[in-house]
Amino acid sequence: MSAPGRQVIGNEDFVTDFAFASDVYQFNARDFGITGDVVFASLDANAAGATIPVGANVIVLLNSDNDNNATTAFNAGTAANQIAALVTTDGPGFFVYWNSTLGVTRLVYSTNLNDPAADLKIISRHTDLNGAAAIAALNNFIADNFRLGGETLIGTAGIDTLTGFGGPDTIRGLAGGDTIITNGGPDRVAYDATSIGSAPDALVDFSVTSDRFLLDATSFGVNGPLQFQRGLAANLVDNGANVIVLLDSDNDANPATAFNARSAAQLIGAQINADGAGFFVYFNSALNVNRLVFSANLADGNAALTVLGAVNTVTGQAAIDQLAQYSAANFEFGTAPTAPAAGAFVLTDPDVVTLTSADGLTNNAAFVQFDPAQPAIFGDADSRSEPAPNPATSDVLDDDFPVAAALSSIEGF
């Protein structure tokens, strides 16, 4: 006990070569009880007028003392107390501070950043820098060094229903024309070139304000980095854009003729001269929804097209109006998640899969794949609630991680 009512748990990991320009701490937000994305703050808590933004869940303390007394320790508890004095709303989160006794930077999880008695878990210490160099390096932390992740759900070549868990999940349906329910987020819906020629997914609740498409540009043959453009076709600029949101909802002022992916591609192709594959979002007048499309060549209105997904969140005029809300933040170029090699943890006909935890850890990942007609599930699972193991209906695959999932679809539990 470092303070009345507070538990401070050490036994942290040692990080020997953290690179601020490229390395990232990634946390399973649901396991840590955090909703939403990273809200970052970096500050000197001793400075006059110091404030912490409402909702901040990752905080870097730049000060190395709290009382101008070098003989008193500046530790996780005192750092947490300084933060609690400035945070105004309850909620768990993480903070980075410099420990004066050890002379190193440490990353800490707090069960409530607003509570000076909240329990703390030291997650890591950086051992590559110490003393004044470690203090100075606190300024190098930025929001991009932290990521709140969730579960990764991957479907099959069949028709699946994939439902997120309410946190920042990554969902990839593979082929088959799947139904994807993000179930709150922020979430990522992932695609790679294996979707070419497949039926489009139905995105039931994709949110333009919080969700985004994770597009495996390399797989699709799209030259990066991501270059975004949004506008009416007549206003599009031939600037190398590889992600375009088309605001037109018609091409001939005749509502009796359909405005479809080909119509949109031809409007775009008439404005773009430089050859290159890419993606566009447009409004389909027959279906009354917005759709995400891959084009083998944005400069060629007759190039091969694959509709990747239909955003069914809003329809009709509301969908047309929503096109203007899309931004570059709704798209990300990266690697789409893939399932492990076939044969890993394969079950053919269980009602429930139960992996029983022997150590109570909550920061490890497990993989369970059902038969080929069923989706796969990745991620941290120790904090979930599952039915008690039943030997008659369960198979124990491992003694370290618990997970339970219905086989008809992947649902949050």
Return d(Cα 99, Cα 72) in angstroms, integer: 11
- pLDDT of residue 228 exceeding 90: yes
- pLDDT confidence band for 399 (50 / 70 / 90): very low
Return d(Cα 78, Cα 93) in angstroms, integer: 16
Return d(Cα 172, Cα 178) in angstroms, integer: 9
- 242 neighbors 298 (Cβ within 8 angstroms): yes
311-364 residue pLDDT tens: 999 999 999 999 999 999 999 999 998 865 433 333 333 333 333 223 332 222
The predicted structure's pLDDT at residue 225: 94
Tell me the CA distances in angstroms from 298 to 170, 239, 279, 325, one per residue in order.
27, 12, 8, 22
The predicted structure's pLDDT at residue 340: 52
5-63 residue pLDDT tens: 789 999 999 999 999 998 989 887 878 888 778 899 999 999 999 999 999 999 999 99
| pLDDT higher at 30 or 259 | 259
The predicted structure's pLDDT at residue 147: 85
- 222 neighbors 199 (Cβ within 8 angstroms): no
| pLDDT higher at 31 or 243 | 243
Report strand pairing: 201-203 vs 394-395: unpaired
